[in-house]
Amino acid sequence: MVRRVLADSGQDRVCVVPMTLGRDPRLVADTARSLQWIAQDGEANRGRIVLSDPFGSMDHLVGWLRAAAGGAPRTAATAVLVTAPAAGPFEDADLFRVARLVRQYGHHRWVEVAFDCGDPDVAEGIDRCRLLGADRIATVRAAFGPPPPGAVTDTPDTTDLGPLLSRAAVDGILSARCADALHRLAHGDDGIAAGLDAEHGHGFAHTHGPGGHHTHGPTATPEHGHDHSHV
């Protein structure tokens, strides 16, 4: 796609925005690797490709979910159920953390999580809300697309709050990400190096035995930070 745009559109520069809401660092890293190969494939591509920051971060997601949850009744017996596609264990755990922050800084006693065809699935999430004492459950989508058919239980006590973001909001965020990225490109930063490091520190921490150490590639410096421990 990027090669075709570079070749056919006549555009001087192409900005690529990783469409993630903060739960998919692998997408960012994979995109950076692809763009690195394209950027190095011929002098004509150099300086024409820029990788923006992801569409959203986990902090953004907390704010967007809080705003969406504002559409649910503010009663003591209303629960908010955040739904999303199932991913890996770390990505799914991240969404539980997000939900906890939405609850902490929101207006509802319960903010629960469920996954499309995951654990718990949406039906189980709704049942959990009822068991907690909710008589009204508002579902909000932490994803770009709608749930798959049959993923949401259509019951009198369940209300769908609709898309997380409006089309106008999505367009505005995309414009802002591209503008920031193109500004950085004008100053020599194509964003690819940062994107390649997106997965660092995500997943299991690891340790090194006594005296153990490792390097982080030929560009590692003493200032390079670590998110894991050395025993």
* pLDDT tens column, 58-68: 999 999 999 99
Domains within the chain, CATH numbers bracketed: 2-56+168-196 (no CATH), 58-160 (3.40.50)
Show Cβ contacts of residue 113 under 8 Å, excluding neighbours closer than 6 positions: 81, 82, 83, 84, 92, 95, 96, 99, 120, 125
pLDDT for residue 160 is more than 50:
yes
**Looking at residue 194, what is its pLDDT?**
95
Instruction: Report, as an integer, the average pLDDT of 124-143.
Output: 97
Asked if residue 164 lies in contact with residue 185, where contact means CB atoms within 8 angstroms, the answer is no
pLDDT for residue 138 is more than 90:
yes
pTM over 0.85: no
Host H or E run for residue 144: none
Q: What percent of the chain has a predicted confidence (pLDDT) above 70?
A: 80
Q: How far is Cα 37 from Cα 40, in angstroms, rounded to an integer?
A: 5
Return the minimum-mean-pLDDT range out of 25-29, 96-100, 148-152, 154-158. Answer: 148-152
Please name which of 15, 89, 52 lies closest in space to residue 198, comparing C-alpha atoms.
Answer: 52
The answer to whether the bond into 146 is cis (omega within 30° of 0) is: no
Q: How far is Cα 157 from Cα 176, in angstroms, rounded to an integer?
A: 38
Asked if residue 36 lies in contact with residue 2, where contact means CB atoms within 8 angstroms, the answer is no
**Looking at residue 32, what is its pLDDT?**
96
pLDDT for residue 170 is more than 80:
yes
pLDDT for residue 230 is more than 90:
no
